[in-house]
Amino acid sequence: MPTISDLRTTIVDIPSLRPHRFASHQIDMQSYLVVAVDIDGGPTGVGEGVSPGGPWWGGESIEGQQAVIDGYLAPIVIGSSVQPIGQLMSRIDTVVHANHFAKAAVEMAVYDALGQVLEQPLHALLSTGRHRDHLPVRWALSAGDEDEVADEANQRLRLGHRSLKFKMGALEPTQDIARLGRLLDRLDGPARIQVDPNGTWDRRTAMWALAELEALGVAVLEQPLPRHDLHGMRLLTERSVSVVLMADESVCTPVDAQRAACLGAGDAVAVKPGKAGGLHAARLVGEIAGVGGMRRFGGTALESSIGTAASAHLCAALDGLEEDSELVGPQLLADDLVAQPLEYADGSLRVPDGPGLGITVDWDRVDKYTRR
Ligand code: MN
Q: Using one digit for the tens of pLDDT, what is the confidence trace for 322-357?
A: 999 999 999 999 999 999 999 999 999 999 999 999
Beta strand spans in 41-82 (E): 44-50
Mean pLDDT of 166-190: 97
What is the distance in A from the centroid of ligand 1 to the CA of 188?
A: 25
Q: How confident is the model at residue 88 (pLDDT cuts 50, 70, 90)?
A: very high
Residue closest to 9 by CA, chosen among 40, 48, 60, 43: 48
CB 110, CB 103: distance < 8 Å: no
Distance CA 198, CA 183 (A): 19
Average pLDDT, the chain: 96
- How far, in Å, from the CA of 250 to the mean position of ligand 1? 10
Which contiguous run of DSSP H or E holds residue 38?
strand 26-39
- Single out the residue of 174, 195, 173 nearest to residue 184, CA to CA: 195
pLDDT(131) > 80: no
Q: Cα–Cα distance between 342 and 218 in angstroms, integer?
A: 30
Confidence band for 44, pLDDT divided at 50, 70 and 90: very high
Distance, CA of 335 to CA of 13 (rounded, Å): 10
* Other CB atoms within 10 Å distance of the CB of residue 43: 18
- DSSP H or E segment with residue 39: strand 26-39
Burial of 94 (0-12, 13-18, 19+ CB in 10 A): exposed
Q: Which residue, among 317, 46, 310, has the nearest Cα to 327 in the 3D structure?
A: 310
Res. 24: pLDDT tops 70 = yes
20 CA to centre of ligand 1 in angstroms: 13
CB 105 within 8 A of CB 48: yes
Res 151: pLDDT = 97
Mean pLDDT, to the nearest integer, of 62-73? 98
Q: What is the pLDDT of residue 176?
A: 98
Say how many Å lie between the CA of residue 2 and the centre of ligand 1. Answer: 38
Give the range among 54-58, 105-109, 184-188 with minimum mean pLDDT: 54-58
Rounded Cα distance between 198 and 24, Å, is 9
222 pLDDT more than 80: yes
Residue 129 clears pLDDT 80, i.e. is over it = no
Q: Tell me which DSSP letter residue 284 carries.
A: H
The distance of Cα 239 from the centroid of its chain, to the nearest Å, equals: 28
pLDDT of 130 above 80:
no
The active-site residue, picked from 60, 249, 323, 326, is 326
Lowest mean pLDDT among 11-25, 136-150, 249-263: 11-25
Catalytic residue among 167, 272, 275, 303: 167
Q: Is the pLDDT of residue 27 over 90?
A: no
Q: For this structure, is 165 an active site residue?
A: no
Which residues, chain by chain, have CB under 5 Å from ion ligand 1? 196, 248
d(CA 234, CA 210): 13
223 Cα–ligand 1 center, Å: 7
Q: HSE of 16 in the Cβ direction (CA atoms, 13 Å)?
A: 19
Distance between Cα 301 and ligand 1 center (Å): 8
Q: How confident is the model at residue 22, as a pLDDT?
A: 84
The SS3 assignment for 137 reads strand
Q: Does residue 189 have a pLDDT over 90?
A: yes
Q: Which residue has the higher pLDDT, 320 or 200?
A: 200
Q: Answer yes or no: is pLDDT of 128 > 80.
A: no
Active site residue 152: no
Kindly state the average pLDDT of the residues 286-299.
97
What gap in Å lies between CA 141 and CA 167, rounded to an integer? 6
pLDDT of residue 257 exceeding 90, the answer is yes
What is the Cα–Cα distance from 216 to 222, expressed in whole angstroms? 16
